[in-house]
Amino acid sequence: MCRAALPCSEGGMNGVKRQALVIGAGPAGLMAAGALARDDCDVVVAEGKPSVARKFLMAGKSGLNLTKDEPLERFLAAYHGGCAGLVRAAVVDFGPVEVADWARGLGQPVFTGSSGRVFPETMKGSPLLRAWLGTLDGVTIRTRWRWVGFDGTGYAFETPEGRQVVTPDLCILALGGGSWARLGSDGAWVPWLADRGVNIAPLAPANAGLVVDWSVHMAKHFGAPVKVARLTAGDTSVRGEFVVSARGLEGSAIYTVSRAVRVGMALTVDLCPDLTQDEVAARLAKPRGKATVAGHLRKALKLDPVRLALLMEFGRPLPDDLAPLVKALPIRHAGLRPIDEAISTAGGITAEALDGYAIRAIPGLYACGEMLDWEAPTGGYLLTACFATGLAAARQALV
Do residues 259 and 201 both lie within one domain? no
Taking residue 147's Cβ as centre, other Cβ atoms within 10 Å add up to 22
Are 237 and 279 in a shared domain? Answer: yes
| Rounded (5°) CA angle 368-104-21 | 30
Tens-digit pLDDT profile for residues 140-171: 999 999 999 999 999 999 999 999 999 999 99
Q: Whose CA is closest to 336, among 187, 204, 178, 183?
A: 204
pLDDT of residue 17: 87
Mean pLDDT of the chain: 95
CA angle (232, 220, 238) in 5-degree steps: 15
Average pLDDT of the residues in 379-390 = 97
Report the pLDDT averaged over residues 93-97: 98
Contact 349, 204 (CB under 8 A): no
Average of pLDDT values for 370-390? 97
Distance CA 230, CA 233 (A): 10
Backbone angles phi, psi at 151, to 5 degrees: -135, 95
Within this chain, do residues 199 and 166 fall inside the same structural domain, yes or no? yes
Is there a single domain that holds both residue 170 and residue 282?
no
Residue 9, pLDDT above cutoff 50: no
Same domain, residue pair 357 and 269: no
Q: Using the 3D structure, point to which of 307, 330, 353 is the last residue of a domain.
A: 330
Residue 67 reports pLDDT greater than 70: yes
Q: Looking at residues 218-232, what average pLDDT do you find?
A: 97
Asked whether residue 156 is assigned to any structural domain, the reply reads yes
* pLDDT interval class at 366 (50, 70, 90): very high
Q: How far apart are CA 65 and CA 84, in angstroms?
A: 21
> Is 6's pLDDT higher than 50?
yes
Residue 335 resides in a domain: no
Q: How confident is the model at residue 332 (pLDDT cuts 50, 70, 90)?
A: very high
* pLDDT at position 44: 98
Structural domain includes residue 176: yes
pLDDT(1) > 70: no
Residues 185 and 254 in one domain: no
* In a shared domain, residues 199 and 313: no
Provide the pLDDT confidence category of residue 88 given band limits of 50, 70 and 90: very high
Indicate if 8 and 48 belong to the same structural domain. Answer: yes
Tally of structural domains, the chain: 2
What is residue 4's predicted lDDT score, i.e. its pLDDT?
A: 52
pLDDT for 181: 92
Q: Domain ends where: 330, 357, 376?
A: 330
Query: Does the structure show a pLDDT above 90 at 13?
Result: no
DSSP string, 173-209: E----SS-GGGT---THHHHHHTTT--EEEEEEES-P
Find the domain containing 228 and state its range. Answer: 210-330
Q: Return phi, psi of residue 249, to 5°.
A: -125, 135
Task: Name the E strands within 124-187.
Answer: 139-143, 146-151, 154-159, 162-166, 170-173
What's 12's domain CATH number? 3.50.50.60
Determine the pLDDT at residue 105: 98
> 238-270: per-residue pLDDT in tens?
999 999 999 999 999 999 999 999 999 999 999
Average pLDDT over residues 194-216: 98
Instruction: Tell me what pLDDT residue 152 has.
Output: 95
Higher pLDDT, 7 or 336: 336
Q: What is the predicted pLDDT for the residue at 288?
A: 87
Element (H, E) at 277: helix 277-284
- Whether residue 165 sits in one domain with residue 21: yes
pLDDT above 80 for 280:
yes
Q: Write the pLDDT tens digit of every residue in 168-189.
A: 999 999 999 999 899 999 999 9
Does some domain include residue 303? yes
How many other CB atoms sit within 10 Å of the CB of residue 232? 18
Per-residue model confidence (pLDDT) at position 12: 41
Q: What is the DSSP string of 31-66?
A: HHHHHHHHTT-EEEEEESSSSS-HHHHHHGGG----
Residue 12 sits in the same domain as residue 141 = yes
Is 31 within 8 Å of 387 (Cβ atoms)?
yes
Query: Based on the domain organization, do 273 and 313 belong to the same domain?
Result: yes
User: Domain check: are 298 and 345 in the same one?
Assistant: no
% of residues, the chain, pLDDT over 70: 96
Domain boundary among 305, 330, 355: 330
**221 confidence band (pLDDT: 50, 70, 90):** very high
37 in a structural domain? yes
Span 26-66, pLDDT tens digits: 999 999 999 999 999 999 999 999 999 999 999 888 899 99
